[in-house]
């Protein structure tokens, strides 16, 4: 089997307040998302959202296989899958249908699909497939979402160092999903803050995946209850889980891009509780 997994258990906010740096990183950070020719899943107990990634090298085809916690014959027997390519051009084959996925394009794969595989078009510039998966109860069509298909929203302002372009990719406004939602936010040059003002949403959790972080630069991700926050320093192509009770925001030492993925009972993108910046502690 070309993949493995780790389980990420849910944490009470009262307990998280006692964590030091290493424990915070152990419980919430995904340091090794992308691996060559191997899918390493992070199976969380936050709405059962899964985070993973793979880099198919030249001449290699990586097959999506089930893992033990799913207790299913096929990975997608009771799940849906969202894929965003953050590398060179790649190909995803779903039950015999081939989808060419370019840089910053997405693919939604519905429940019940049996065979899914990944490969790069040019092994010298391999694809980097970032993936989220959530439980599903209904099959919806597989849909490729190109850059031209995304819902694009301009947010923030240069004066506040948070001018950014939000791309809604796999969301209820563009395609049918059970609960999975994914999108991409691109920080403009000179801007470093994302998701400000910060917010929480009690009916769904979220995971952030940071990429296009320049060499020698880092991301400082903020989490925790609004009145008792913590920070985690992150590097390029790393991800972090955000429980329902936690804010999720960051500042980088340069501009960058991140993918947000959500799972939970509510598909309303605007369902969030905004926290005024002066109220953060």
pLDDT in tens, 15-46: 999 999 999 999 999 999 999 999 999 999 99
Contact partners, residue 70, CB within 8 Å, separation at least 6: 77, 78, 79
Q: How confident is the model at residue 266 (pLDDT cuts 50, 70, 90)?
A: confident
pLDDT in tens, 141-152: 999 999 999 999
Question: DSSP code of 55?
Answer: B
Average pLDDT over every residue of 254-270: 91
Average pLDDT over every residue of 45-56: 97
pLDDT attached to residue 2 = 56
**Phi, psi dihedrals of residue 124, rounded to the nearest 5°:** -75, -20
pLDDT in tens, 150-162: 999 999 999 999 9
pLDDT attached to residue 269 = 77
pLDDT attached to residue 174 = 87
pLDDT attached to residue 171 = 95
Contact partners, residue 68, CB within 8 Å, separation at least 6: 5
Question: Considering the chain, what is the average pLDDT of its residues?
Answer: 96
Higher pLDDT, 270 or 251: 251
pLDDT attached to residue 6 = 94
Average pLDDT over every residue of 153-179: 95
Which domains are delineated in the chain?
A: 3-279 (2.60.120.10)
**Termini Cα distance of the chain:** 46
* Cα dist from 211 to 8, 40, 183, 194, 237, whole Å: 22, 18, 13, 13, 5
Higher pLDDT, 269 or 77: 77
Residue 3 pLDDT > 80: no
Average pLDDT over every residue of 236-248: 97
Is the bond into 197 cis (omega within 30 degrees of 0)?
yes
Residue 128 pLDDT > 60: yes
């Amino acid at each position: 089997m070309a993949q493995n997994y780790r389980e990420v258990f849910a944490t009470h906010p009262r307990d998280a307040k006692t964590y030091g740096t290493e424990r915070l990183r152990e419980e919430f950070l995904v340091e090794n998302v992308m691996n060559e020719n191997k899918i390493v899943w992070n199976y969380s107990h936050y709405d059962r959202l899964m985070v993973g990634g793979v880099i198919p090298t030249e001449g290699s085809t990586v097959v999506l296989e089930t893992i033990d916690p799913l207790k299913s014959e096929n990975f997608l027997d009771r799940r849906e899958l969202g894929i965003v390519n953050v590398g060179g051009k790649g190909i995803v084959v779903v039950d015999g249908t081939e989808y060419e996925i370019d840089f910053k394009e997405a693919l939604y794969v519905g429940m019940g699909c049996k065979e899914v595989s990944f490969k790069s078009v040019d092994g010298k510039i391999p694809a980097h497939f970032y993936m989220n998966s959530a439980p599903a109860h209904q099959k919806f069509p597989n849909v490729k979402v190109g850059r031209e298909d995304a819902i694009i929203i301009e947010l923030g302002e240069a004066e506040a160092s948070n001018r950014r372009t939000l791309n809604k990719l796999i969301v209820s406004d563009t395609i049918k999903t059970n609960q999975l939602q994914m999108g991409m936010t691109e920080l403009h040059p000179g801007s470093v803050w994302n998701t400000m003002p910060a917010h929480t949403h009690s009916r769904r959790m979220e995971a952030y995946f940071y990429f296009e972080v320049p060499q020698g630069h880092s991301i400082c991700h903020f989490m925790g209850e609004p009145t008792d926050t913590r920070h985690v320093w992150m590097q390029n192509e790393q991800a972090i889980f955000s429980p329902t009770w936690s804010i999720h925001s960051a500042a980088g030492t340069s501009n960058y891009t991140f993918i947000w993925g959500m799972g939970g009972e509510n598909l309303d993108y605007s369902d969030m509780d905004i926290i005024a910046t002066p109220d953060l502690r």
